[in-house]
Structure 1
Amino acid sequence: MHVRVLLFIILSFSKIYAAQAELNVEDAQSKSQGIILYNQLKFESATPFLQKASDAGDHEAQYFLAEALRKKNHFMNPEARKWYEASAKQGDLYAMIQLGRSENDICDITQDCPTPQKKPIEWLNQAKKIAQEKSKLGNAEAMYLMYEITLDESWLQKAALAGDAQAQYWIAIGYKQGEGFFLPWKRSEEIEKWFKLSSENGNPKSMMEYAALLYEKGDLDGFRYWNEQAALVGNAESVYNFGSYLAHEPDTFGFPYDPVKAYSLISSLRILDGGGGMKVNVEYKLPIIAAKLTSSQISEANDLSKKWALSHPPLSFFPDKLSR
């Protein structure tokens, strides 16, 4: 289980592509740090790190740089488009899809963007052709991207059946929201099945959903297990919840009382001062937990927090790679 979860984190941003730009150690570290900051919704802080790896020619860094620039400005701007196009020229499907979606964006309307290398539909058609070829070879991520390109639900089903955790998550979400036709009990079974599969394939958002379903069924052991698993892979919301439950704030789900570990987990979230709203949560919860501890216990918790950071994946909000 743990191996599969770690593989999900390591490979989720690069399964489709072989290495196209050989980065030196420094540029590779910049790329890694940039993606970590991007996943923490720190787009301003991520930009210089991603810029360095992008200048070195890495298509994935170029894609995330374009995403960060677009999100900082809340719309497509000339710099973002430049990096999407640089990434797409190297075969990055995500960049092609974003360019394909960019028709009539604000910078086109205001005529601030340079003349595009291709029309949006041309990028989209190119992405579709490549994704179809990879899908024929059994690439589950490519099947999911075919769904994103075509909005054909059959591709989402194919990707889920092929083991793509993101597709499995969205299948479950769709059924949960009422899509499809089922007998009432069959719908519940399908929702649980797909959240479970996605969780086992490492998707932390599914872990949280699956945990909630298990709680509704009275399976507190399962609820506690999947909450902890989501925290162990660095999901920021789950780390916050896990810490709160260990401090018995609230004492609802039968977690062992461990306020020192709780303080260490909640305090580790203080670095999330970009988007996501976690800073407000931490500022509210941490003093409540601190009131339960002595000064020596707080010192112990701070040491534990440092050890946690070194032995677990970086904190992340796990934003969808193909954002809207």
Structure 2
Amino acid sequence: MAVSLNRPQSKVAARQYTGQLVDQVRRRSHAFVNTDEGALPEWLSKGLQCKSSKAYEQAASWFQQAAQAGDMRAQYHLAGLYRNGQGVSQDIAQAAYWYGKSAAQGYARAQCNLGMLYRQGRGVSKDAVQAAMLFRRAAEQGHAKAQYGLGDLYREGQGVAQDFGLAATWFRLAAEQGHVPAQYRLGELYRQGRGVEQDFAQAANWLRQAAEQGCNLAQHSLGTLYEHGLGVPQDIVQAVTWFRKAVEHGYVESGPEPRTLEG
């Protein structure tokens, strides 16, 4: 059953809705497996072998055969070659076409990547509503990157009504799977008290997880918490350490967000 994009208006109903959503999707997240594993059709298997050895032209040939035969995984991998210009001329429209074929069969990875193309307007007309629908379909299957993407649309109010509570819900589901940008975003929501009750200890927890994996924005925010003793003991040495790590990883004050936060 699909999860609605919008929460009920009453607070009680909204809490029940959010709890049901989390339980439902968390179960699917635990069950989410790599569907490229197991028995594979020969064309797809050979394509994956060629891709692994960077023989991209041969990979494209094998994927093309399997994709035309309707294999959703081959369609997904062929789309990736077109998106990256590997073994074929780069063609984002062709990438979107094959992602669409795969996504229509319910393949979460393709749904997520096609959602990203719609959000960015690459190979297709920019359409945040379509992006949200695709992210949701993949997110409900437990796909962490799609959960982050959907959460970010709720955070920004693109394609869906702005809802920091739902943003936090989807970020949490992705963060629990180790998704670094989601861990940072969730930490920031706790730090700011947006969509969740302000909780500096929770902010420090999620920011630390992202910071330890190299997210420069999380490193800077964690340094700020240490600087002011928010959620952690005040510790100027720790603050300076995290500020330095942030700069070493490319942090620029008031600069554009790094590409890593695209998901």
State whether TM-score is above 0.5: yes
Q: Cα offset for 1:235?
A: 0.9
Residue from 88, 97, 107 that aligns with 1:164: 107
Partner of 2:86: none
- Deviation of 1:179 after TM superposition, in Å, equals 4.5
Distance 2:211 2:230 in 1: 18
* 2:240 pairs with 1:240: no
Q: Which amino acid aligns with 1:129?
A: W
Q: How far is the alpha carbon of 1:256 from its aligned partner?
A: 1.2
Task: Give how far 1:126 is off.
Answer: 5.0
The whole-number CA distance in structure 2 between the counterparts of 1:319 and 1:128 is 30
> How many angstroms does 1:124 deviate by?
2.9
SS at 1:272 equivalent: coil
Q: In percent, how many aligned pairs have the same letter?
A: 18
Q: Does the 8 Å CA contact 1:16/1:142 hold for their aligned counterparts?
A: no
The CA distance in 1 between the partners of 2:132 and 2:139, in whole Å, is 10
The change in CA–CA distance for 1:269 and 1:189 in structure 2 (over 3 A counts) is: closer
- Return the offset for 1:243: 2.3
Structure 1 residue aligned with 2:117: 174
Aligned partner of 1:3 among 24, 27, 52:
27
Q: Is 1:287 aligned to residue 231 of structure 2?
A: no
Asked whether the equivalents of residues 128 and 149 of structure 1 are also in contact (C-alpha less than 8 Å), the reply is no
- In structure 2, C-alpha distance between the alignment counterparts of 1:134 and 1:179, rounded to whole Å: 22
**Residues of 2 paired with 1:18 and 1:135: CA distance?**
21
- Unaligned runs of 5+ residues in structure 2 are 1-24, 83-90, 235-259
Structure 1 residue identity aligned to 2:115: A
Out of 203, 216, 228, the position equivalent to 2:172 is 228
CA distance in 1: counterparts of 2:169 and 2:163, whole angstroms: 10
1:203 to 1:318, Cα distance in 2 relative to 1, 3 A: farther
Give per-residue Cα distances to partners, 1:30-89, cap 9 Å, x unaligned: xxxxxxxxxxxxxxxxxxxxxxxxxxxxxxxxxxxxxxxxxxxxxxxxxxxxxxxxxxxx
Structure 2 residue matching 1:18: 3-state secondary structure:
coil
Name 1:262's counterpart in structure 2.
Answer: 203
For residue 192 of structure 1, what is the aligned residue in structure 2?
132
Q: Secondary structure at the match of 1:255?
A: coil
Contact 1:266 1:282 (8 Å CA) reproduced: yes
Q: Structure 1 pair 126/239, CA: closer, same or farther in 2 (3 Å)?
A: closer
Amino acid at match of 2:105: A
Long gaps (5+) in structure 1: 21-90, 101-119, 296-316
2:251 match = none
CA distance in structure 2 between the aligned counterparts of 1:200 and 1:258, rounded to whole angstroms:
27
1:125-178 Cα offsets, whole Å, 9 max, x none, are: 356326633774x64322201223455343211111122222212222222233
Aligned length: 195
1:76-91 → structure 2 map (5 Å cutoff)? 91=45
Instruction: State the match for 1:96 in structure 2.
Output: 50
State whether structure 2 residue 158 is matched by structure 1 residue 204.
no
- Provide the residue aligned with 1:141 in structure 2: 73
Distance (whole Å) between structure 2 residues aligned to residue 256 and residue 278 of structure 1: 21
RMSD, matched Cα: 3.7
Tell me the amino acid that sits aligned with residue 241 of structure 1: R
Q: Matched residues in 2 for 1:270 and 1:214: separation?
A: 23
Q: Please report how far the alpha carbon of residue 288 of structure 1 lies from its aligned counterpart in structure 2 after TM superposition.
A: 4.5
TM-score (norm 1): 0.49
- The change in CA–CA distance for 1:92 and 1:266 in structure 2 (over 3 A counts) is farther
- Given that 2:202 and 2:231 are in contact with CA atoms closer than 8 Å, whether structure 1 keeps it comes out as no
The DSSP-based 3-state class of the residue aligned with 1:97 is helix
1:285 Cα deviation after fit:
3.9
Listed one character per residue, the Cα deviations across residues 261-304 of structure 1 (whole Å, up to 9, x for unaligned) are 3333333445425xx54674365244157445569xxxxxxxxx
CA distance in 2, matches of 1:220, 1:283: 21
Asked if the contact 1:214/1:222 (under 8 Å) is kept, the reply is yes
Amino acid at match of 1:4: R
**Other structure's SS at 2:168 match:** helix
| Deviation for aligned residue 1:196 | 1.6
Deviation of 1:201 (Å): 2.6
